[in-house]
Structure 1
Amino acid sequence: MAHQSSTQRLKGGRWLKALAWLSVLALLGAALLMGLAGPAYRWELIALGDAFNLLRYGAYTAAAAGALSLLLLVVGSITRRINAGVVAIVVLSGTAGLLYIPWQHWQRAQQAPMIHDITTDTQNPPTFDALRDAREAAPNAVDYPGEETARQQQDAYPEVEPLVISAPVSRVLSAAQAEVEAAGWQIEAITDNTIEATAITRWFGFKDDVVIRLTEQDNAVQVDMRSASRLGASDVGTNALRIETFLDRLGERLE
């Protein structure tokens, strides 16, 4: 009789429910830590280092949630508690979702060179004029870094090239402005052949500056572009992707 009572407590005991709740709370805590890291930095509530620490602690907490849910899944299977198994699978799925983002970022960081200034014209890069003061106040330099950066860019992003299109320069400029506005970038200045704007990342609010330069050729216009981060030694490929995406969409808009 005592043995039967002990078995029943094992199968439906409070400790199994406590384990389930602990895994759920760990997952929620991880989501909160990781989710608040970017906005807290963007709203200037914490420093960047503290924001990265929140991400790190969130990843650790998510890993703990995953370990607890694995234990819950094993025990739930042994004791034939279906509800415990369902909770474990949900927490495991949530953990995988949370950890996928930093894992993907880490993978990109391993492959990307330590550069943050990308341009379609490394010999004569478009210059920041209206944004010069803002960039001079930022950690990264306003001027293009030079040959070493150009070499690393060519090795890592050979597909970053100018767009040459047969259309009047005024039409290309209008289309480029429309594409900048569609991207949600903050326009700083527009001249007869240039556009300067700032792209702000959604989560952390990092500011990357963009300059688009149009050069008239025989029956065509060459569109060169430069995208440079204000902060950080490596942009993890963000600026190259921004240029490629923008020029592809601009070409489609002008077709």
Structure 2
Amino acid sequence: MKILVSLTSLIAFLLVVLAGPLYKFDVIELGTAFTGFKFGVYAGIAALVLLALQFLLRRKTVTLGSAIMAVVFSAIAIAMPLNMMNKAKSVPPIHDISTDLVNPPEFVAIAPLRADAPNPVAYDGIETAEQQRTAYPELQTLTYPQPKAELVGAVEQAVKNLGWELVNTDSNEGIVEATDTTMWFGFKDDVVIRVNDQGSERLVDIRSKSRIGGSDLGKNAERVHAFIKELDAVLAK
């Protein structure tokens, strides 16, 4: 039974942890990856049940090392998918976030890169805007006193500091576009930053949109927050 417990917990762990990299490198489809999540949770629960039975029926075969390994692997296999499910329930099921909900920045150079993406390049509309206002009321247009050219340069630097792929910079239009690739699944989410003049101030708007998926699990809002923080840090230097 010791071998069975260890093997079951290891399988559970691998089903969950490897789902992202296997999808990222085009070995499996996204639906298969999520199926792996489901069976990983089942296998993790099964491993814990088998471990409990081993303690009850064959206590002498239990070793501390194998028990700890089984618990850790099973806990990871169960916790990671459940955490994602809980996150999905705590945020709105949207994948397009913008600090300007009336006139969101438009993707230009990135638009052709999204030609085959399930999520279209156009803004998702009024329903998405309403859900964002409720969930992320703090995300609004930013104002800065710096000249437009200086702000565009700072935006570029912030993009680079965050490790995003810089796709396009149009200093005249005040547009910077970039793509952020998530580490685990390799999802590509696109970002456009717009800098406009308004009298003595500059208005900065950020939009982040996923190429795939209905809910972004709050990732795009987190990305916008991270960018604002990094831009302020660059401008403070």
TM-score relative to the length of structure 2: 0.90
The one-letter code sitting in structure 2 at the alignment partner of 1:172 is L
Unaligned stretches of 5+ residues in structure 1: 1-18
Match of 2:107 in 1: 128
Compute the displacement of 1:148 (Å).
Answer: 1.1
**1:185 maps to 2:164:** yes
2:139 aligned partner: 160
Question: Which residue is equivalent to 1:195?
Answer: 176
Q: Distance in 2 between matches of 1:242 and 1:116?
A: 12
Paired residues of 2:10 and 2:70 also in contact (CA < 8 A): no
Hey, what's the Cα distance between the residues in 1 that align with 2:13 and 2:76?
10
* CA deviation map 1:10-47 (0-9, x unaligned): xxxxxxxxx22222211211222222211221111221
How far apart are 1:251 and its partner, in Å?
Answer: 1.0
Question: 1:109-129, CA deviations, whole angstroms, 9 ceiling, x for partnerless residues?
Answer: 112222111100000100011
Among the aligned pairs, what percent are the same residue?
Answer: 40
Give me the whole-angstrom Cα distance separating, in 2, the residues matched to 1:173 and 1:167: 10
Write the distance in 2 (CA, Å) between the matches of 1:169 and 1:74.
71
Task: Assess if the C-alpha contact under 8 Å between 2:54 and 2:62 holds in 1.
Answer: no
Question: Residues 251 and 73 (structure 1 numbering): CA distance in 2 closer, same or farther, change over 3 Å?
Answer: farther
**C-alpha displacement of 1:55:** 1.8
- Say yes or no: does 1:216 pair with 2:197: yes
Partner of 1:14: none
Alpha-carbon distance in structure 1 between the residues aligned to 2:194 and 2:44: 45
| Corresponding residue number in structure 1 for 2:233 | 252
Structure with more of its chain in helix, by fraction: 1
1:82, CA displacement in angstroms? 9.3
RMSD of aligned C-alpha atoms?
Answer: 1.9
**Alignment CA distance shift 1:83-1:69 (3 Å):** closer
Q: Where does structure 1 differ by over 6 angstroms across 4 or more consecutive aligned residues?
A: none
Aligned to 1:27, the other structure's residue is in SS state helix
Identify the residue that residue 11 of structure 1 maps to in structure 2.
Answer: none
Q: CA offsets per residue over residues 170-210 of structure 1, 9 Å max, x none?
A: 22212211111122212111011111111111111111111
